[in-house]
Amino acid sequence: MNKAFATRCKHVATVFGTILLVLAVLSPVSPAQQKVQLELLHGWSGFREPMVQQMIDEFMQEYPWIEVEARLVPHGELDDQFLLTYAAGMAPDVVMLTTKHVIAFADRGALVDLTPFIERDGIDWEIWVPSEIEGGQWQGGTYGLPIRTGGEAGNILYYNKRLFAEAGLSPERAPATWDELLTYSKKLIRYDDEDRIVVNPINDLTQGASAQATLNWIYSGGATLMSDDMRTIAFNSQAAADAMSFAHQFRSEVYRNPDDDKMGNEAFYAQQSAMFFWGSEGFSYVWDQDPDFPLGAGPRPKHPDSPYIGANQGTWRYVMSDTAADKEAAWLLIKWLTIREESAGWFIRAQGRPSPIRAYNLHPEYFEVNPLITVVGEVLEQVANVPMLPIFDDIVVPVRNAFREVLAGTNAPGPALQAAAERAQGILDQYWAEVDAQKQ
């Protein structure tokens, strides 16, 4: 177990226990309360829908004067549903939104700043993983509380302990830096007499240079996507260029043939590859294939000067509409769904996912299922919050394409990033011009 992470979580757990006691005093059940009706809009389909209803039923038992109607909407339609109902003056009281839409609606004044509620109830900001709570903040306010985490996506490096040992590497330690990743990979790779790859050191190093993987790479190099006020593109930097150069260098130095690294996860399960990047779901996928797999895990390797190992590109949050008739009741529901251990902690733990609340990741049930769960905590503490806007996808496409050009050898990092930044800045300027015009 990482001692620093465990110590921090235990401290937070102690503080959090005190907070829960305070909340119990601040929120007594009173039969004299007037009846309140709340509408909840969420996207937890499948086996999660009855779990959400169970939490709501328990909430209504705890607060019998509050009646909650839950409405399930497909994930991809939640923001449109909220926009339509808000424009019609019939918005739900509590809504599940992605990070980028939380920021967009907060900027339009459609959401309630939850900061005063949090501070009034004495909730310590340290209970949350920093990048998870920061993603719901905008211009000094907190407009959405995280339901699940987003920071581990693509930022866990899984490895095969047996293959590490056979290559003369410590099976108890993942490579922590880019240089170590390169050194380890050169020791792990094996070819047969016909120049065919037998052991691949890592599956698809750049994960297809997807938008998510691109941001993980540039942030692990110390670069950022945008300025803090989200009005200036910042990825045209030496740090981003170095990240792209390293990925190209790695593929050219480690592999003999251009497509040797193009293996799927099945190769890892079959112990034909030694490492791969994924999120927290990777544990269950590997152990479902082989419960005795010699699995190790660590944070994504980074440039030694970077404060980050990767990027947190957002998650799902619950927000309160500024049209909520009873904001105190809506706040009670949000706390129940995002902070309370018996509901929020249980809901996410039952799905095998890490919690955005640090202390909950030390629950004994996690360790029974996954003895490597503390690695996820280490990862979450080292990722950067990525500024989000509704046009996020449009802004990321140019830098993703620049990464692909560098990997293909059709452009150098400097010119590729310069052209990408100019295009992304144009998109960003147009967005803010439209937003600013609407406010006038």
What is the spatial distance between Cα 53 and Cα 70, in angstroms, rounded to a whole number?
7
Please list the residue range(s) of the chain that carry CATH number 3.40.190.10.
3-150+314-385, 156-312+388-439
> Tokens in use for 395?
């802004």
- Asked if 358 and 9 count as a contact pair (C-beta separation under 8 A), the reply is yes
What is the spatial distance between Cα 308 and Cα 301, in angstroms, rounded to a whole number?
10
Task: Tell me the pLDDT tens digit for each residue of 14-53.
Answer: 444 444 444 443 444 444 578 999 999 999 999 999 999 9
Task: Tell me the pLDDT tens digit for each residue of 66-81.
Answer: 999 999 999 999 999 9
306 CB-near residues (< 8 Å, 6+ apart): 219, 220, 221, 222, 239
The model's confidence at residue 91, banded by pLDDT at 50, 70 and 90, is very high
Pick the CATH number of 3-150+314-385 from 3.20.20.70, 3.40.190.10, 1.10.357.10, 3.30.1370.140: 3.40.190.10
What is the spatial distance between Cα 221 and Cα 204, in angstroms, rounded to a whole number?
19
- Asked if 44 and 348 count as a contact pair (C-beta separation under 8 A), the reply is no
What is the spatial distance between Cα 354 and Cα 378, in angstroms, rounded to a whole number?
12
| Mean of the per-residue pLDDT values of the chain | 92
Q: DSSP string covering 65-92, please?
A: TEEEEEEE--GGGHHHHHHHHHHTT---
For residue 109, pLDDT over 50 is answered with yes
Task: Tell me the pLDDT tens digit for each residue of 238-272.
Answer: 999 999 999 999 999 999 988 888 888 899 999 99
* 51-52-58 Cα angle (round to 5): 90
* 401-134-54 Cα angle (round to 5): 105
Per-residue pLDDT at 23: 47
Q: What is the DSSP letter of 360?
A: G
371 to 164, 265, 284, 354, 375: CA distances (angstroms): 19, 21, 12, 13, 9
What is the spatial distance between Cα 343 and Cα 105, in angstroms, rounded to a whole number?
27
The residue length of the chain stands at: 440
Q: β-strand 190-191 against 295-299: which pairing, if any?
A: unpaired
Percentage of residues in the chain having pLDDT higher than 90: 82
Task: Tell me the pLDDT tens digit for each residue of 204-234.
Answer: 999 999 999 999 999 999 999 999 889 999 9
Percentage of residues in the chain having pLDDT higher than 70: 93
Global pTM value: 0.88
> Tokens in use for 194?
């016909």
Q: What is the DSSP letter of 30?
A: -
The model's confidence at residue 8, banded by pLDDT at 50, 70 and 90, is low
For residue 122, pLDDT over 70 is answered with yes
The model's confidence at residue 440, banded by pLDDT at 50, 70 and 90, is confident
436 to 99, 107, 397: CA distances (angstroms): 21, 10, 24
Per-residue pLDDT at 413: 98
Task: Tell me the pLDDT tens digit for each residue of 430-439.
Answer: 999 998 898 7
Closest CA to 21 of 104, 97, 122, 162: 122
Average pLDDT over residues 333-355: 95
Max avg pLDDT among 2-6, 203-207, 285-289, 327-331? 327-331
**End-to-end Cα, the chain, rounded Å:** 54
Q: In the CATH scheme, what architecture does the domain 156-312+388-439 have? A: 3-Layer(aba) Sandwich (3.40)
